[in-house]
Amino acid sequence: MNKAFTRESDGEDDEDDVALPPLPAGGRNYLTPQGYARLRGELLNLIDEERPKVVEAVHWAAKNGDRSENGDYLYGKKRLREIDRRVRFLTKRLEIAEVTDPSVHHGGDQVFFGATVTYEDEQGTRRTVTIKGIDEAESSQGEVSWISPIARTLLRARIGDVLQLATPAGVQEIEVLAVDYPAPAA
């Protein structure tokens, strides 16, 4: 039998394998109020502004004769399909959205959704991440999705906790140094 179809170990240490915390059940789409507003704004913009403009352009292009060689018509139809696909996606995501305001934990020392967490790894490197929703996390801004390995490891931890983070390079210990939440709106 080909080795690709067997579950035998190659003799490597399996002791370094740390299982990730399980994903929460229920298929929820957690979002911050700002993330929900941004997605809803995008949906409304697509429905109220973008789609009507493209429909008008396609209608105009259709009146210009042979549709098989009409670039405006073909591009417009393609763009219309893209808009409709995005509208369906956003509608489904917003239907299952659970808006969670992280400011309710302001002043707390435990990591929950919406927390900005500073942690230090074994090499002494400090990193700061903010735990956000799947549809709103921007990695370039230091934001991670709540289902990412680092977020799943950090969730429910407290300041001073030393955690085991499974990485492609192996298991690393990280220590939670600070937990911050946005201040409640006045």
Residues 38 and 93 occupy one common structural domain: yes
1 is a domain residue: no
Please identify, among 98, 130, 159, the residue that sits at the C-terminal boundary of a domain.
Answer: 98
Reference 143, options 153, 133, 129; nearest CA is 129
Note whether residue 20 is domain-resident.
Answer: no
Residue 122 has pLDDT above 60, yes or no: yes
Can you give the pTM of this predicted structure? 0.76
User: Is residue 121 scored above 70 in pLDDT?
Assistant: yes
Q: What is the pLDDT of residues 65-103, one digit of tens each?
A: 777 778 888 899 999 999 999 999 999 889 988 999 999
Which structural domain range is residue 126 located in?
Answer: 102-180
Boundary (domain end) residue, out of 47, 76, 98:
98
* Residue 166 forms part of a structural domain: yes
162: domain CATH number is 3.10.50.30
Q: Assess whether 91 and 61 both reside in one domain.
A: yes
pLDDT, one tens digit per residue, over 13-22 is: 444 444 444 4
Residue 2 has pLDDT above 80, yes or no: no
- What per-residue confidence (pLDDT) applies to 105? 92
Tell me how many domains the chain contains: 2
